[in-house]
């Protein structure tokens, strides 16, 4: 009986060994994935346009013997400036700040009070000179600006983005050719943002003449992107 058991065990051992020998090497059968080569370049696109909007600040400063008197006089002057701006076609008129503070003499004693009120307004570039002259005529004695912008800024930026992609592709093609490869498709794009190039203009009442000249000039809208292409 013991001999039969030993023979059966030996037979099972041989079957197990045969099965182990016959099993495929799964680890060896799976090939490692091929690495995909890629190239990353930066593209910059620029669009030039003449801005059609101007944002400016208009201020009024007045003096008074008391704080109440200075503020009251200033409020009347500020209303006149705001009404003049509206009549000149200005829009988005917004108060920037209101202030009142004591004015001291040489001895350090308070000799009166100064009150200020400043508003910002947006006009078409063509209407900006008239707005400046109207505000000064109404009593504005502090003017700054204009900050130039385009009413279609988003459209201009999208055009710049398209040019940035074209430039990135052109650069990548040059690099791919130089390395003996061909350019594949885009695998990723990272937007870098936009910049504008407005030219500020500053003016004081003493320097203003009738029909104040304001020249918008050219404004650049620039978009920057980082693009990754696959290589063949």
Which tens digits make up the pLDDT trace of 112-123?
Answer: 999 999 999 999
pLDDT attached to residue 36? 63
The fold of 35-51+151-232 is: Translation Initiation Factor IF3 (3.30.110)
CATH of 53-149, one of 3.40.50.2300, 3.30.70.2970, 3.40.50.300, 3.40.47.10: 3.30.70.2970
- The domains of the chain are located at 35-51+151-232, 53-149
Axis crossing angle, helix 67-87 with helix 128-138, rounded to the nearest 10: 150
Place of tokens 């890629």: 38
| Average pLDDT estimate for 100-121 | 93
Structure tokens at 221: 């809208």
pLDDT value at 30 more than 90: no
Going through the chain in order, the beta strands assigned E by DSSP cover: 38-49, 53-64, 91-104, 110-124, 142-149, 183-196, 202-203, 219-231
Give the angle 105-106-111 at the CA atoms, nearest 5°.
10
The SS3 assignment for 182 reads coil
pLDDT attached to residue 215? 83
**Confidence band for 194, pLDDT divided at 50, 70 and 90:** low
Structure tokens at 68: 């109440």
pLDDT attached to residue 192? 86
Which tens digits make up the pLDDT trace of 123-143?
Answer: 999 999 999 999 999 999 999
Residue 226: closest CA among 197, 195, 190? 190
| Average pLDDT estimate for 144-167 | 94
pLDDT attached to residue 216? 83
pLDDT value at 2 more than 50: no
pLDDT attached to residue 23? 45
pLDDT attached to residue 125? 93
pLDDT value at 10 more than 90: no
Global pTM reads 0.66
Hey, CA dihedral for 33, 37, 40, 45, is it positive or negative? negative
């Amino acid at each position: 009986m013991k001999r039969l058991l030993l023979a059966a065990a030996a037979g099972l051992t041989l079957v197990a060994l045969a099965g182990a020998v016959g099993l495929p090497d799964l680890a060896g059968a799976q090939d490692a994935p091929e690495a995909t080569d890629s190239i990353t370049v930066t593209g910059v696109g620029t669009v030039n346009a003449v801005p059609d909007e101007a944002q400016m600040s208009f201020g009024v400063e007045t003096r008074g013997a008391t704080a109440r008197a200075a503020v009251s006089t200033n409020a009347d002057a500020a209303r006149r400036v705001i009404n003049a701006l509206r009549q000149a076609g200005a829009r988005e008129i917004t108060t920037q700040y209101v202030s009142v503070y004591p004015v001291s003499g040489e001895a350090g004693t308070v000799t009166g009070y100064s009150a200020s009120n400043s508003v910002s307004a947006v006009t078409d570039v063509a209407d900006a000179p008239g707005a400046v002259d109207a505000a000064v005529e109404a009593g504005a004695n502090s003017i700054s600006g204009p900050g130039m912008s385009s009413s279609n800024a988003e459209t201009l930026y999208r055009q710049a983005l398209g040019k940035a992609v074209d430039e990135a592709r052109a650069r990548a093609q040059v690099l791919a050719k130089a390395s003996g490869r061909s350019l594949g498709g885009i695998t990723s794009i990272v937007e870098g943002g936009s910049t504008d190039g407005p030219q500020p203009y500053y003016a004081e009442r003493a320097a203003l003449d009738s029909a104040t000249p304001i020249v918008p000039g050219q404004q650049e809208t620039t978009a920057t992107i980082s693009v990754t292409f696959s290589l063949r």
